[in-house]
Amino acid sequence: PGYTITARPAEVGPAIADTMHGIFFEDINDAADGGLYAELVRNRSFEFTGTDRAGWNGLTGWTTTTQGRGSGTATTVDGSARLDERNRTYLELALTSPAGSAFGVRNAGYGDGIAVQKGKRYDFSVWARTDARNGTPLTLVLDDAAGKRYTSPQHLVVRGDGWVKYTGTFTATATTNAARLSVLGSGSGTLRLDMVSLFPRETFKNRPNGLRKDLAEKIAALNPGFLRFPGGCIVNTGSHEAYDAAAGYPRARSYQWKDTVGPVETRATNANFWGYNQSYGLGYFEYFQFAEDIGAEPVPVVPAMLTGCGQNQATDDPELLQRHVQDALDLIEFANGPVTSTWGRVRAQMGHPAPFGVRRIGVGNEENLPAEYAANFVTFRDAIEARYPDITVIANSGPDDSGAVFDAHWAAARANGAEVVDEHYYNSPAWFLQNNGRYDSYDRSGPQVFLGEYASLDSKLSNALAEAAFMTGLERNADVVTMSSYAPLLAHVDNAQWKPDMIWFDNDQSWGSTSYEVQKLFMNNVGDRVVPSTATGAVLQPQPIGGGIGLSTWATAASYDDVRVSAPDGTALFADDFSDGNATGWTPLAGTGTWSAAGGAYTQSDTAALNTLVKGPDVGTSDYDLTLKATKTA
């Protein structure tokens, strides 16, 4: 049985905005440091701590190294000689090396090492000071564990006991993905180092402090309508913390955009929700610039002063809330304000006098406390609209696709007149197929939907197809769904906290998933208008076994006249014609044996038995490799 699809081009369907499909960037899976941000040195500012990850410290990512009979000690210090009040820890090398030798530290970058290509140039910089009266000779070189050199050594002399930035360039003499950067001081005395940095000369659009070219180009090829950033769960982390400007910056604080602008050596790093350090080298200026470079509308998300993502806390500090509301106002000034304004001037000083054109801003991410969230949302929204009436402030609906928290968020959004609500869900491919019509019945007079995060779970071709099918449902409802973005965008193979992901990479290669290809297809072919159509005829629907949707659902649907359980290759294993009115009495088909110990009555626990039957004992119940195919007469 098949469909008959009837298109009605004479009827005018909803317009589809160019910004319908975009991307969501979050610093998860090493997406920023070690990923899109092209910096090759890990822990360049010696700021890693045990709060970032248990066992980490200022020398994480570094080992000591010597040349000849060089000797000394290497200690990280949060002391009064610091480079900046917000970049507090530095490396102190007590040098005791005889002439002709040197002592120092070595960094292996992210993943397996630093990747360099023969003939390409790499710019290094290091902030340094020394108490040696005649200065301290400094040597920098890229080599590997076997001692093979990939550059000739670069020499300079550090002079004076005040911080100075020293710079230079390597040209790689061979290609490797396993180099280390060594920085060695000669002689005696105390040499202090901070912000030891190495960038490829070639970055995306050759921006200084720029982005890794292959990753940025893959993202640009998507042709995204917008860029939602910087999170995700990292936005709200620790947002209940008492902010103490005098003490500086508690770790695991919420994502505060002011931490991330200005010269990189003045940006305070932070503990990341996903269990690593954020250097903020890729900060708000760089995000805005990237969005502009790829023709995407920037859609920043600010903390709502609640913790989300499985934590349930709201700030009870009205001053803290107000400071964050002011931060949101200042952010809009930073993005859009004239160069004569306080924050517009900062943007201009960073190299972009023209405004970045922010039109929409999100408040919060996946909060579990709808009432508290709604109160804070209104506080933010009212303050923003009072000063910037043209800005749309986006609310959100929590972490689920449905349920009590979701419903309460939506009820509050309707009650407080929110314009747009951000929905997130990660479900099975079958859920996406079954929910193609999710938005057909959404209230057109209420808030619109920004589907800010979604993905079907697993990484198969069928996932991409289910997402593609679902996206047709988004476009069909373009009058109520204004934006959508798959998530997460990027993942480093050696540090992935979340799967599936759209683009994968290691230190010298990157590749898109099948979902990436679907996203690219849709973003590069956004329609102008929906052509109304209807499908009639028999309906063939694949269903998963497990995940809450099982035969019991089907058993109640009297109109099914043939239901089959199929293996991943499509082989039908069991059939039931529902002649007995329920899902008992399954007929095993050739070569499959009986399908459950319970004698045919389906229960959720039979999923494991079925999976074992088809694929062996190591298959989890969350695998959706078995499908139900049901034919019913429409």
Contact positions vs ligand AHR (CB under 6 A): 26, 28, 231-233, 309, 365-366, 399, 424, 453, 487-488, 498
CA dihedral 615, 618, 621, 625 (to 10 degrees): -30
Among residues 210 and 232, whose Cβ is nearest to ligand AHR? 232
Q: How far is the CB of 307 from ligand AHR (least distance, A)?
A: 12
Q: How far is the CB of 413 from ligand AHR (least distance, A)?
A: 17
Q: How far is the CB of 267 from ligand AHR (least distance, A)?
A: 22
Residues contacting residue 554 through CB under 8 Å, at least 6 positions apart: 543, 560, 563, 583, 628, 630
Q: How far is the CB of 488 from ligand AHR (least distance, A)?
A: 4
**Rounded CA separation 60/83 (Å):** 19
Q: How far is the CB of 414 from ligand AHR (least distance, A)?
A: 22
- Quote the crossing angle between the two packed helices 213-222 and 284-293, to the nearest 10°: 50
Closest CA to 450 of 472, 417, 418: 418
Question: Distance between terminal CA atoms of the chain?
Answer: 11
Which residue do the tokens 């005098």 mark?
A: 246
Among residues 13 and 364, whose Cβ is nearest to ligand AHR? 364
Sequence-ordered alpha helix ranges (H) in 238-296 = 284-293
Active site residue 265: no
Q: How far is the CB of 233 from ligand AHR (least distance, A)?
A: 4
User: Please, are residues 235 and 303 in contact by the beta-carbon 8 Å criterion?
Assistant: yes
Among residues 344 and 488, whose Cβ is nearest to ligand AHR? 488
Q: How far is the CB of 310 from ligand AHR (least distance, A)?
A: 8
Give the three-class secondary structure for 610: helix
Among residues 25 and 170, whose Cβ is nearest to ligand AHR? 25
**Rounded CA separation 424/397 (Å):** 8
Element (H, E) at 171: strand 164-171
**Rounded CA separation 429/467 (Å):** 7
Choose, from 366, 367, 423, 453, the residue flagged as catalytic: 366
**Rounded CA separation 162/159 (Å):** 8
Among residues 163 and 273, whose Cβ is nearest to ligand AHR? 273
Sign of CA dihedral 346, 348, 351, 352: positive
Q: Which residue is nearest to ligand AHR (CB)?
A: 232
Among residues 114 and 233, whose Cβ is nearest to ligand AHR? 233
Q: How far is the CB of 256 from ligand AHR (least distance, A)?
A: 17
Give the three-class secondary structure for 553: helix
Among residues 28 and 95, whose Cβ is nearest to ligand AHR? 28
Among residues 274 and 560, whose Cβ is nearest to ligand AHR? 274
Among residues 26 and 475, whose Cβ is nearest to ligand AHR? 26
Tokens at residue 21, please? 């499909």
Burial of 522 (0-12, 13-18, 19+ CB in 10 A): buried
Read off the DSSP letter of residue 206. G
Q: How far is the CB of 363 from ligand AHR (least distance, A)?
A: 14
**Rounded CA separation 82/91 (Å):** 10
Task: Name 96's bridge partners.
Answer: 188
Residues contacting residue 384 through CB under 8 Å, at least 6 positions apart: 328, 329, 332, 361, 391, 393
**Rounded CA separation 559/570 (Å):** 23
Among residues 493 and 601, whose Cβ is nearest to ligand AHR? 493
Burial of 133 (0-12, 13-18, 19+ CB in 10 A): exposed
Q: How far is the CB of 234 from ligand AHR (least distance, A)?
A: 7
**Rounded CA separation 386/563 (Å):** 58
Sign of CA dihedral 271, 272, 275, 278: negative
**Rounded CA separation 633/366 (Å):** 40
Tokens at residue 421, please? 């609500």
Give the active site residues. 366
